[in-house]
Amino acid sequence: MRAGLVALAALAAAPAAAETLVATRLIRAQEVIGPGDVTLSSGEVPGALTDPAAAVGREARVALYPGRPVMRGQTAPPALVERNQIVTVVYAQGGLRLTAEARALGRAAAGERVRVMNLSSRLSVTGTVAEDGSVRVQP
């Protein structure tokens, strides 16, 4: 019985096998990460992702090199609005709803703020990107 307790104590004292998410190929900045682009590798790196679901479908913020860990801050939701893209700007308050075309002055994902320039008036406003790619502005 004592031998069983010693073996159990040795197992408890042994470090748990940790895995780190690494890139399987060069993933360029602003490229969406696919299921085959990352894999788990043995070893633990502080600040690195440990779950493929946390990276797949997201966009690389920087170049990710093969065999290197994918760190938490290196991925972001994919951008829906690209710089210079023509977008629909929506202003809605109460029963009033106005739409206009505008040019995006930056890149942004859903929920992020982006500056746009109204094509008719040439005025710049800041709005929030909606899931459909339009930009919602508030008074």
| 61 lies in the same domain as 92 | no
What amino acid occupies position 121?
S
Q: Residue 139: what pLDDT? A: 79
Residue 17 pLDDT > 90? no
56 within domain boundaries = yes
Nearest partner of 52 among 75, 26, 78, judged by Cα:
75
Which residues constitute the domain of residue 38? 16-76
When pLDDT is averaged across residues 77-104 and rounded to a whole number, the result is 95
When pLDDT is averaged across residues 61-77 and rounded to a whole number, the result is 95
Percent of the chain with pLDDT over 70: 88
Residue 85 pLDDT > 70? yes
To which residue do tokens 């919602």 refer? 136
Q: What is the CATH number of the domain that holds 26?
A: 3.90.1210.10
Domain count, the chain: 2
Q: Residue 38: what pLDDT? A: 96
| 58 lies in the same domain as 88 | no
Residue 13 pLDDT > 50? no
Distance CA 65, CA 37 (A): 10
Burial class of 106 by CB neighbour count within 10 A (0 to 12, 13 to 18, 19+): middle
Residue 107 pLDDT > 80? yes
Distance CA 33, CA 92 (A): 35
21 within domain boundaries = yes
Residue 43 pLDDT > 80? yes
pLDDT band at 2 (very low <50, low <70, confident <90, very high): low
3-state secondary structure 20-67: EEEECCCECCCCECCHHHEEEEECCCCCECCCHHHCCCCEECCCECEC
The per-residue pLDDT of the chain, averaged, comes to 89
When pLDDT is averaged across residues 49-71 and rounded to a whole number, the result is 95
Cα–Cα distance list, 111 to 8, 40, 92, 103, 108 (Å): 50, 30, 17, 18, 8
